[in-house]
Amino acid sequence: MLYERYRPYRFDQVLGQDRTTPILKAQTKLNRFAHSYLLFGPSGTGKTTVARIMAMAMNCQHSDGTGEPCGECQSCRAIREHRSWDVQEIDSGRFRGIDDIKGLVYKSYLSPVGKRKIYILDECQQLTREAWGSLLKLLEEPPPHLCLILSTTDDLTGGRIPETAISRCELFPFVRLKAGDMKARLRLIASGERISIDDSWLDWVISFAQGNLRSAETELEKLLILGGSDEHKQLCATA
Ligand SMILES: [Zn+2]
């Protein structure tokens, strides 16, 4: 998938999250990480991407002092290719029960292979109340090598994520991407894939995607398969 192939692996490559990425980069530079983070905002705005960059930055073996992970060392590559022993991504929609979280809590105390063990819990608002009870203990007293990165599309006001959990995390908001940033990104990918895209197609996709970059990149993928913007627009118009 295009959004996987062109997924950023440095904080500076992440578009449109100026209230978040500079702070995380500065934390990396100072090697001052929190034990738990909560990334919140709409879908397709880069939360999982940033969580993976954070994981790379925390465990990078060739950090150059700029606050960015190298992206190429053994640890960074393992994380990019989803085969790291230390980094686990959990889809909280599927693994939402107390037994899932109890297993996670148990494993969290085992020593990491690298510097830190990092758990990324996507869509954490879907965890059950009992699962939150178990996770809260970990948020309150995490082992020194553990970092929990929770992410959610919830707006944090509906009570689906317990207040006690929110208060234990450093909060980072994510916002919908601006049209200019999305256009620049789509043009970059199109150039890498040698696809020609015209302005009217770009305007159409930007308006369709509503600030969701992953959704726009998925439309570009369809364009690539169909081989032209007119065919793509026609297909979507009749869908
Ligand atoms: Zn590295």
Average pLDDT over residues 139-168: 95
Which of the listed residues 150, 173, 196 is the one where a domain comes to its end?
173
Q: Across all residues in the chain, what is the average pLDDT?
A: 91
Residue 122 is predicted with a pLDDT of 95
- Tell me, yes or no, whether 44 and 113 share the same domain: yes
pTM above 0.75, yes or no: yes
Could you tell me the distance, in angstroms and rounded to a whole number, from the CA of residue 3 to the centre of ligand 1? 21
Looking at the predicted structure, is the pLDDT value of residue 238 above 60? no
Q: Whole domain around residue 220: which residue ranges?
A: 179-238
> In the chain, how many domains are there?
2
- Residue 124 burial (C-beta neighbours within 10 Å; 0-12, 13-18, 19+): buried
Backbone angles phi, psi at 80, to 5 degrees: -65, -30
Could you tell me the distance, in angstroms and rounded to a whole number, from the CA of residue 121 to the centre of ligand 1? 22
CATH number at residue 71: 3.40.50.300
Average pLDDT over residues 105-132: 95
Could you tell me the distance, in angstroms and rounded to a whole number, from the CA of residue 59 to the centre of ligand 1? 7
Residue 210 is predicted with a pLDDT of 92
